[in-house]
Amino acid sequence: MISFMVFAFGLAIGSFLNAFIYRLEVRQGLVLTKGKHKGKHKPSVLRGRSFCPHCGHTLAWQDLIPLLSFLFLRGRCRYCKQRISFQYPLVELATGVVFLFIFNFQFSISNEFSILQFFNILYLFILASSLITIFVYDLKHYLIPDKILYPAIGLAFLWRIFEFLNLGFAQSFDWAPGRMAGWISMPLIQAILAGILASVFFFAIYLVSKGKWMGFGDVKLAFLLGLFLGWPSIVVALFSAFCLGAVAGIALIAFKKKGLKSEVPFAPFLIIGTAIAFFFGSDIMSWYLGLFLV
């Protein structure tokens, strides 16, 4: 029952993310409002009733039930009969599944529920929602919105500070100059260094290619992912992202969907790589190191 509630909560958040993404697109001039919303002020990304992007008709509550409304309406708007993008059910379903994975993963580590566990899961839900938004936005527009990225970086940094204080590192660590070499063993410092190293790596690619191989948004996203995952999980994420990107690129060229010089958004691969590193990073690292210890 709890798992079902978490999944349903994820579906509802996914529905909100769809509306948020569309309104952010409108505010950034990437899409235009239609119907009775045409010519009005750009909608707030957080306030106001949801409306059909095709005809602009305000949606009723029965049109907004995650997943079920899409199925009952057979993928069409109730009012103008235009097709509803598959983005909407897919984002809702993906958010529900990711939330369920996060919840079960956290309780597989510790079966005891506590206030700290609650805030940890809440933090992961918010960060996952940010990454899902970035995933969709970059996939559609080859653009990573700073309005999502910067708050996510701030949240990840504040959580690392909270961990640092809550786990007692601030009280137990010897701050004497002679112990400065030991700072690198602290999770907070490792996370910051992982973010900086990942960001520098992407920035080097950005400079060498003059922005053709990698956008500057990817440089900033790499810092967020390094800060979130820490070391050495960020290595697993980057390796997975480049492998997935290579496979996808070859497949797109093979099916003549892209050419050798075509632009491909990389943030989705980075985010999938991050998910792989978060859920399976320890197992992958253990397997990899085991190859050399045998």
* Chain segment 97-136, per-residue pLDDT in tens: 999 999 998 887 766 777 888 899 999 999 999 999 999 9
Query: Alpha-carbon distance 47 to 23, whole Å?
Result: 10
Token duo for residue 252:
């797109």
pTM: 0.87
pLDDT-derived band at 38, boundaries 50, 70, 90:
low
Token duo for residue 251:
């497949």
pLDDT-derived band at 79, boundaries 50, 70, 90:
confident
Closest CA to 123 of 100, 97, 156, 166: 156
Structural domain of 290: 142-294
Longest dimension (CA), the chain: 71
Determine the average pLDDT of the residues in 169-186: 53
Lowest-confidence region among 6-20, 82-96, 157-171: 157-171
pLDDT value at position 35? 57
Q: Are 155 and 101 within one domain?
A: no
Q: Are 207 and 91 within one domain?
A: no
pLDDT value at position 260? 64
Phi/psi at 48 (5° precision): 100, 155
Count: domains in the chain: 2
Q: Are 67 and 157 within one domain?
A: no
Dihedral in degrees, nearest 10, Cα atoms 167, 226, 284, 289: -80
pLDDT-derived band at 179, boundaries 50, 70, 90:
low
Query: Alpha-carbon distance 125 to 106, whole Å?
Result: 12
pLDDT value at position 26? 83
Q: Is residue 46 a part of any domain in this protein?
A: yes
Q: Is residue 114 a part of any domain in this protein?
A: no
